[in-house]
Chains A and B, each alone.
Chain A
């Protein structure tokens, strides 16, 4: 559980709203640690949300996205009980995936 993703998806009418909170340092490469050494960049590059085999959103992030990123968006379709998939890959090649059922 080094890389935790919290996904919360709710549906009302024909619109599903997804909120996701991802645990990630999102180091920009501009910050120095206590010893004065630059903390190397480490950030999520691509994040993808899927529902029923369909990609509902692809995000491309740079180092300017905040630490522990939060994202909220909505799409048409999606029924209660269907899983939302979320997956990301960062600039070091690390990945994490998670799913959550729409409620």
Chain B
């Protein structure tokens, strides 16, 4: 948890990190891992805003992936908790054993907006991605993988004790 603690500000490590950064900056040392000016921020125009505004499954899939036909398959694997005590932080991991994967996404059917997150997966990148999402209430979570243009999916119900959308 040290790695996580450093960012969210728990544990004594945060102090050490801040002190080290301050010391580096004061001494005018160009820390190589802080040379951030060379990276351009991503273009916001590529954001599929329309897909993230949808409140129904099919329009969300259509807007995100260009098709809404889901095929349920065991080739898409998803790890999600059976019961999430805190809906604000639900770890979701998906993976797939399929050829020609180009994109992936996670949908929470009973959230105010269906689409939680989506990824563009270039060749050479593994389709196994872990992240954490919010769930408003007990819901089916669907992991979708786009393989050769087809949407392959697997779903799982996650019981939420405390909702994550207020």
Contacts and interface: CB of A to CB of B under 8 A. Distances in A.
By secondary structure, the B interface counts as: mixed
B145 interface: no
B117 A77 contact: no
B42 A8 contact: no
B42 A63 contact: no
Contacts, number: 169
Contacts of B116: 62, 64-65
Interface string B114-143: 011111111011101111111110000000
A25 to B, nearest CB: 12
A45 B46 CA distance: 9
A55 B39 contact: no
- Indicate the size class of the contact surface on chain B: 35 or more
A28 interface: yes
| Secondary structure class of chain A's binding surface, majority of residues | strand
A65 B41 contact: no
Interface residues of A, number: 56
Interface in A89-103: 89, 93, 95-101
Given A45-B44, A98-B36, A99-B36, A60 B166 contact: no
A46 B3 contact: no
A43 to B, nearest CB: 9
Nearest to A23: B7
B120 to A, nearest CB: 4
Nearest to A31: B166
A12 interface: no
B117 A62 contact: yes
Given A46-B47, A88-B42, 17 more contacts: A1-B18, A6-B7, A21-B4, A46-B44, A58-B46, A60-B117, A60-B118, A64-B111, A68-B8, A70-B131, A71-B130, A71-B131, A73-B126, A74-B126, A86-B39, A89-B44, A95-B41
